[in-house]
Amino acid sequence: MMINFITEPLQYAFMVRGLAASIMVGIVCAVVGTYVVLRGMAFFGDALAHAILPGVAVGYLVGGGAREPLFWWALITAVFSSLGIGAISRSTKIKEDTAIGVIFAGMFALGVALISTVRSYTVDLAHFLFGDVLGVRAFDLWLIVIFGGVVLISIIAFYKEFLVLSFDPILATTLRLPVRLFELLLLILIALTIVVSLQTVGVALMVAMLVTPAAAAYLLTRRMPVMMALAALIASFSGVVGLYLSYYLSIASGAAIVLTCTAIFAVVWLVKTLSKFIVSGKNSN
C-alpha cells in the first residue's frame, strides 16, 4: 500500500521532473538562504524576486511562451535589479528598506501590467506568481543544474571570504579583502538562485524557499556548514513531500512545498521553545 502510494505518481514523467527540480532548487535556495538569514536580507530577497516580474513578462511576450527567452530575460532583470537596489540605497539619503520597497513595488506593478496585456492573463500570471513545477521540462532541468551548480560552486569556493564578510565586515576590510566585489557577487548569486527557482515556487513564494529552511536549520545548529546541510535537507525534503501533497490533495504545487517548509519550521520552533521552557523550569526548582 505504502509503496504504491510513493511509486504511483512516479509513472508520470512530469512528476519525476518536478521532483528532480524541487530537490535541486531546494538545495540551492537553502545554501544561499543561509547567508540571506544570517545577514538579515530576507526583505531584499523578497523584493528581488518580485522585481524580476517585468523581465519575465517581456521574455514571455517576446518568446510567445517559449522557455528560453523567458529565462534569459528573467536572469538579466534579476542581476540588474539587485545591482540597482544596491546602488540606490548607497547613493541617496533614503534608507535601504525604503529604497527596496519603492523599486520592488514599481517593478512588480510593471510586470503585472505587461502580463495583463495578454488574453490568458490570469492563468499565466498565476504560474509566474506561484510556480508551476509540474510544467518543468528537460530544458529547464538543465538550466537548474548548470546555474544552480554555478551558485553552489561559488558559495563553496568563496566560503571563507563570505564567512568573514558576513560575520565581521570590518575584519574583511582590515584583511584587505575586496569587500565590495564580494558583496556584489553575493547579490548576483541570490539573483541567480531566484531565477533558477522561478518555476518551482514562483515570484510571490520565493522568499519562503530562501528563508524558511535556513531559519529552521538556524534553530537546530550553531555551526555554519551544518546549518547549510540541514537547510538543504529540510528544503529538498519539503520539495518532495510538497509535491506528493500536491498530487494527492490537488493543492497548487508551489504552495504545498512552502507549506511543508513552514510546518517543519513550526515544529522545530515549538520543540525548541518547549525544551527551553522545560530546562528553565527544571533549573528554577
By beta-carbon proximity to other proteins, the closer residue of 16 and 163 is 163
**Nearest distance, CB of residue 14 and other proteins, angstroms:** 38
Helix axis angle, 13-38 to 179-220, nearest 10°: 110
Distance of alpha carbon 65 from alpha carbon 86, whole angstroms: 31
Dig out the grid coordinates for 147 from the structure.
546555474
Q: Is 283 in the site for other proteins (CB under 8 A)?
A: no
Distance of alpha carbon 92 from alpha carbon 95, whole angstroms: 8
Q: Is 87 in the site for other proteins (CB under 8 A)?
A: no
**Nearest distance, CB of residue 44 and other proteins, angstroms:** 17
Stretch that binds other proteins, among 2-10, 154-162, 205-213, 248-256 (CB under 8 A): 154-162
**Nearest distance, CB of residue 76 and other proteins, angstroms:** 20
Contacts with other proteins: how many residues (CB under 8 A)?
Answer: 27
By beta-carbon proximity to other proteins, the closer residue of 176 and 282 is 176
The answer to whether residues 199 and 22 touch, using CB atoms and an 8 Å cutoff, is no
By beta-carbon proximity to other proteins, the closer residue of 1 and 170 is 170
Site for other proteins in 156-195 (CB under 8 A): 157-158, 160-161, 163-164, 166-168, 170-171, 173-178, 180-181
**Which residue has 511562451 as its cell numbers?**
65
Output DSSP code: residue 93.
Answer: S
**Nearest distance, CB of residue 153 and other proteins, angstroms:** 11
Site for other proteins in 263-282 (CB under 8 A): none
**Nearest distance, CB of residue 226 and other proteins, angstroms:** 8
Q: Is 38 in the site for other proteins (CB under 8 A)?
A: yes
The answer to whether residues 209 and 33 touch, using CB atoms and an 8 Å cutoff, is yes
Cα 256 from chain centroid (whole Å): 15
Q: Measured between alpha carbons, how far is residue 212 from residues 24, 115, 149, 217, 233 in Å?
A: 16, 29, 21, 9, 12
**Nearest distance, CB of residue 227 and other proteins, angstroms:** 5
**Nearest distance, CB of residue 150 and other proteins, angstroms:** 16
Q: Is 150 in the site for other proteins (CB under 8 A)?
A: no
- Which residues, at least 6 apart from 221, have a Cβ–Cβ distance to it below 8 Å? 227, 230
Binding other proteins by CB under 8 A: which of 117, 119, 222, 283? 222
- Which residues, at least 6 apart from 55, have a Cβ–Cβ distance to it below 8 Å? 73, 74, 75, 76, 77, 78, 111
Cα 213 from chain centroid (whole Å): 10
Cα angle value 213/215/216 (rounded, 5°): 65
Binding other proteins by CB under 8 A: which of 60, 73, 218, 265? 218
The answer to whether residues 218 and 227 touch, using CB atoms and an 8 Å cutoff, is yes
**Nearest distance, CB of residue 191 and other proteins, angstroms:** 19
By beta-carbon proximity to other proteins, the closer residue of 92 and 116 is 92
Residues contributing to the site for other proteins (CB under 8 A):
38, 157-158, 160-161, 163-164, 166-168, 170-171, 173-178, 180-181, 218, 221-224, 226-227
